[in-house]
Amino acid sequence: MLIPLASMAKFYDGTVNFNDGTSKTGLIELPSESGEQSLKFKTDIKAKAESFDINTIKGFDITSGKNETPTRFVTIYLAKGPLFGTKECKIDKKKSWVRIEKAGKIILYSSYIGYRPGVRGGAVHDSGWPPETYFYLGSPDKDYATFFWMYIESSGGMIAVNNFKVIKRLVAAHFETKCPELENFIDKEDIKTNGITRIVDLYDEHCGTK
């Protein structure tokens, strides 16, 4: 029987990194929602849980799972609007927890309810994303990330064909001032095979040093 993660408390091996440069390694309870304003932590399984305010935390790494690469979360402000567009972004007043999907000259983040750990593959069909996953775009010089796209699982776990046209339009809007040609490199089969994180690679390859 499968039990939704959000319905039970479970702690995972990990390290909390604080804004003052210190860190604590132990067990972390993953936030069930990206907007939760605290993080629960235990030094060991028998210890009493501590609660840390989101504003004191830079991020945390989860080391549980089959893959040895840590799953990295950071705290950041979320916003609506294009990343490098002409319209002004509307930025949240409170921080949220987001997972780093891929980082380069730009950064692709994700957030969702009922997070389950484990490093996901790049392709859509084996990604392991929950039914609804929200993706955000940011850059290393910004303290916020803007909403980019929402993945809704369809039958077979594939992105609906019409979504590729949507993705191209969103790329055009987000990068209209810094890399307007990026949308020309969005290919349906490429995204289908390599996943939405491919956008980070394409930006790195075709958009100079910015």
pLDDT in tens, 133-167: 889 999 998 999 999 988 766 544 444 445 788 88
Instruction: Please report where in the chains the tokens 């209209």 appear, as a residue.
Output: 176
Mean pLDDT of 181-191: 91
Question: Which helix (H) or strand (E) covers residue 136, if one does?
Answer: strand 132-138
Tokens representing residue 40 in the block? 């629960």
What is the distance between the alpha carbons of residues 29 and 42, in angstroms, rounded to a whole number?
A: 8
* Structure token digits, residue 8: 């039970």
Q: Cite the DSSP H helix spans in 81-208.
A: 162-174, 188-194, 198-206
Token pair of 167, please?
């993705």
- pLDDT-derived band at 197, boundaries 50, 70, 90: very high
Cβ(53)–Cβ(36) under 8 Å?
no
Q: pTM of the prediction? A: 0.82
Q: What percent of the chain has pLDDT over 70?
A: 78
The Cα 151–Cα 26 span in angstroms is: 32
Cα 54 to its chain centre, rounded Å, is: 16
DSSP annotation of 197 reads T
Q: Quick one: CA dihedral 48, 49, 53, 59, positive or negative?
A: positive
Locus of tokens 């490098």: 84
Calpha distance 4→118 (Å, rounded): 16
* Residue 169: pLDDT over 60: yes
Which of 100, 98, 79 minimizes the C-alpha distance to 33?
98
More confident residue, 112 or 199: 199
Nearest to 137 by CA among 108, 110, 112: 108
Q: Which of 30, 9, 191 is nearest to 118 (CA)?
A: 30
